[in-house]
């Protein structure tokens, strides 16, 4: 984000340091409060402010791609066209994850006897006539059969590709997991709410006789939920024109003179 865009946001580092300053706590508490702050972002539904990365990854000989270490979830998987757009592939849940870490994965996941058995004992419908042209009866949408299909093995950190994938690379757009030291930003409307979230969780699991009474914990929890409610209202302001149109369409608009 550019400098002008940052004026609408506040960095996570700023929020954490602001809390430490107001709570009169030392820098040794930074790592704990930083982790708490990220939990707060997830709880408040701000996980979409995590960093979105786009990478070009090589395809291994067994038609797999190793996912990046900071991979959380994908948004696009595909290849590039002539104008720099990603042409997405279809997700194929039928691809097996068996032997996906082995160099001979393709050999171990094929069974030609099953194909032969189907060909000799049952009819196969490859295509059908529709609106003046032949179409695939069982195929993936959006031209995906010409590119290939994929499946994600989250456990092993592998992206599996179908055998007909003929490219040496895969374009992957994904949500990256947070790393300490990197810059993350949230809308400035949530700054106070996140500070109260840190304040509450900083003492939430401590015994009452060690730090903070039960009343103090409850006060901080209520302050967080109240500030979160205010932040949501400020971040998603009511569109009066949309509300007016909705009221007219549903006959729920009452006009008082």
Tell me: do 104 and 122 sit in the same domain.
Answer: yes
Tell me: do 244 and 167 sit in the same domain.
Answer: no
* Residue 5 within any structural domain of the chain: no
Tell me: do 157 and 82 sit in the same domain.
Answer: yes
The 10s digit of each residue's pLDDT in 176-224 is 876 666 678 888 999 999 999 999 999 988 876 656 678 889 999 999 9
* Residue 256 within any structural domain of the chain: no
* Whether pLDDT at 82 is above 70: yes
Domain boundary among 154, 176, 198: 176
Structural domain boundaries enclosing 30: 10-49+179-250
What is the percent of the chain with per-residue pLDDT over 70, rounded to a whole number?
69
Helix axes 191-203, 214-235, angle to 10 degrees: 160
pLDDT for the residue 213: 79
Tell me: do 168 and 191 sit in the same domain.
Answer: no
pTM (two decimals): 0.56
Structural domain count, the chain: 2
Question: Hey, what are 216's tokens?
Answer: 């103090």
Question: Measured at the alpha carbon of residue 181, what is the angle toward residues 31 and 50, in degrees to the nearest 5?
Answer: 100
pLDDT band for position 14 (50/70/90)?
very high
* Residue 3 within any structural domain of the chain: no
CA dihedral for 238, 239, 241, 247, sign (positive or negative): negative
pLDDT for the residue 3: 47
* Residue 2 within any structural domain of the chain: no
pLDDT for the residue 226: 95
* Residue 59 within any structural domain of the chain: yes
* Residue 1 within any structural domain of the chain: no
């Amino acid at each position: 984000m550019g400098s002008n865009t940052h004026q609408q946001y506040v960095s996570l580092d700023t929020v954490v340091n602001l809390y430490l300053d107001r709570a009169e706590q030392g820098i040794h508490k930074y790592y704990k409060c930083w982790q708490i702050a990220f939990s707060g972002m997830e709880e408040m539904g701000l996980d979409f402010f995590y960093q979105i990365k786009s990478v070009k990854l090589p395809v291994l000989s067994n038609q797999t791609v190793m996912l990046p270490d900071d991979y959380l979830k994908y948004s696009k998987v595909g290849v590039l066209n002539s104008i720099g757009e990603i042409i997405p592939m279809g997700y194929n849940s039928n691809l097996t994850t068996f032997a996906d870490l082995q160099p001979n994965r393709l050999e171990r996941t094929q069974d030609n006897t099953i194909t032969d058995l189907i060909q000799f004992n049952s009819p196969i419908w490859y295509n059908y006539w529709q609106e003046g042209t032949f179409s695939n009866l069982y195929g993936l949408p959006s031209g995906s059969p010409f590119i290939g299909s994929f499946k994600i093995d989250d456990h092993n950190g592998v992206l599996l590709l179908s055998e007909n994938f003929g490219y040496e690379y895969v374009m992957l757009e994904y949500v990256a997991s947070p790393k300490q030291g990197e810059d993350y930003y949230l809308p400035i409307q949530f700054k106070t709410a996140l500070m109260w979230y840190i304040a509450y969780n900083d003492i939430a699991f401590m015994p009452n006789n060690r730090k903070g009474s039960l009343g103090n914990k409850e006060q901080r929890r209520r302050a967080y939920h109240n500030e979160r409610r205010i932040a949501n209202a400020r971040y998603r302001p009511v569109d009066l024109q949309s509300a007016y149109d909705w009221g007219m369409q549903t006959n729920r608009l009452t006009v008082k003179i």
